[in-house]
Structure 1
Amino acid sequence: MAAAMLCALLTGCAEPDRPEDVFWEMYRRQATQTVVHTRREYFETPEAAAARTMVRVSDEIYDYASGRHVGTGIEHWRGRSVVRTRCVDGAQYGYLPSRQVWDGPESSALCQVSSRPGLGDGVIPGGLTDSQAEEMIASLRGAHHFLTPLAPVPVDVDGHRYLRIEVRVRPVEGFDMPHLLFALRDAGLDPGTYPFQPADDTRGGADLTYYADPVTLLPEFVHRRPLRAGPVVRVEYLHPATVPENPLADTTPWTLRW
């Protein structure tokens, strides 16, 4: 089914019967990834996102099979960029740029995976089995008009082809993002302990724009914008996702590619 849909979109050989299925296939493929690696920019308001005076990047890697985690906090401020902290399997390290060394480790509640909202994009979890992903998707599709994917559009960005998928997020029964936790529960998982935090519950809805690789149909980038006052989030997925052998070796203050 996925191959036929992609053929229709990229070559015009046919019109897909349900173009929204491309989004749900992308959702399934990303949700069943064993390792998730994302970089996220978070701005409290659209005005702060436009100004970009201070940009904080969260770089998060989590292996759902082994439980290994590496999370890094990075700041870009007025042309200066620095790695601030790094969490490695529950221990926190602080980087001292003047000496180019790490201070630590020390125990920190902020390094628990449950305290790391920067992991993933807040809409698609990771580490699910195929059956759990199917159950979660069925639950989300049952919450009518909570997530409404529009027809994908092939686009070229910096010489690369992507599928741009717009998704409307609208409150259902007074909730928007908590429906993701309801769906996780419907898949037989405990939302209180599973390493996944849903996006900010604005109760006012949001618009999502995904850019997916047309070959793997995995998300590469997503932009979340609130319909009214609320945070703006930009997330980049890194594929293939792996946990580094030496998590403290790289002190590059990463930015998002886009």
Structure 2
Amino acid sequence: MTTTLITGANKGLGFETARQLIAAGHTVYIGSRDAERGQRAADELGARFVSLDVTDDASVQAAARQIEADGGLDVLVNNAGIEGRIADNGIVGAADLTADSMREIFDTNVFGLVRVTHAFLPLLNRSAAPVIVNVSSALGSLSLISSPEAPTYFYPGVAYPASKAVVNMVTIQFAKQFPGIRVNAVEPGYTKTDLNGRTGTQTVEEGAAIIVQRAQVTPDGPTGTYSSLHGPVPW
């Protein structure tokens, strides 16, 4: 039996990833900072709920203790993320970017990912087939966002792409330094979720497919990669 934790899983890509992994036989923990929504999502899916705010040390440590007491962890999906749109659904560009607004996004997308990964490393190291999936974005690709031929070139935001570029670097370094764990970054595609104001062009079923695929890699499977369902994504 494979036990999986998905952060930010009470809705969107996290919720759909949980649904698909449960169908594949995983025992899934729905990590959510909103207890009511998280429990409701877990009940709907037949998952387990764990209270988890990736920006809070005490919350993350408590979640790790709970899952350890329940028997351990095999797969960690770092899915929780925010884009940082303003009230009128606009994207904060360079002219309006402040250190505080950038810090808020990094606290969830980068520091939260590191905080959770660090807390759960002891549990993952006890697994026979440990896996970490970091949900990134094509916007984190320096190659694509600097290429006028790529749709990402025209995205005006700064903080979100920067955070995902850091996620990619963290993925590479973790994969090299934890050779016993399969550590990969994934690009779900432009998926219709609350994160982007539901402006995406893909369904959550389509977006979750690559996350689910990488969550099920075997110990001899790929590590240190950055990919979408269509293949490798350039760094």
Give TM-score scaled by structure 2 length: 0.28
Comparing both structures, which one devotes a greater share of its residues to strand? Answer: 1
Higher radius of gyration, 1 or 2? 1
Comparing both structures, which one devotes a greater share of its residues to helix? Answer: 2
Query: Greater RCO between the two (CA within 8 Å, min separation 6)?
Result: 1
Give TM-score scaled by structure 1 length: 0.26
